[in-house]
Amino acid sequence: MNGYFAVLLWNEYQRNKNDKALETLFAYNIQDVVNLETLMVLSYNLKLKETPFNESHQLALPSSPEISLKADLQMIEKVKKQVIESYWMSSSSGGYLGYPTRSY
């Protein structure tokens, strides 16, 4: 999933009050936050290699916490299907999801 997919899940929740869409979005956001800590440690350690403190100040990678919220796979497939259908429907009118395409 990416940021755009998160917006689609939010739209699904807003339009249809679909709790599965909201739970899937929460699971995505929680996983994103957990991954940010790992990225921070990796970045810090990589930058540290450029200093004389490389050996003494390295950080250990964090352990992954147990995340109780799980993405609903049926919801993901539903939103994917909507994206594909929207793309094909709008491509005949020259746009993607309501946005006009550029002519070059």
pLDDT in tens, 25-67: 999 999 999 999 999 999 999 999 999 999 999 999 999 899 9
- Residues near 31 by Cβ (< 8 Å), separated by ≥ 6? 67
| pLDDT (0 to 100) of residue 96 | 52
Alpha-carbon span 18 to 90, nearest angstrom: 25
Q: Select from 16, 15, 17, 27 the least CA-distant residue to 76.
A: 27
| pLDDT at 103 exceeding the cut of 60 | no
Q: In one letter, which amino acid is 95?
A: G
Task: Looking at 49-95, list the stretches that DSSP marks H as alpha helix, in order from N- to C-terminal side.
Answer: 73-91
The reported pTM is 0.70
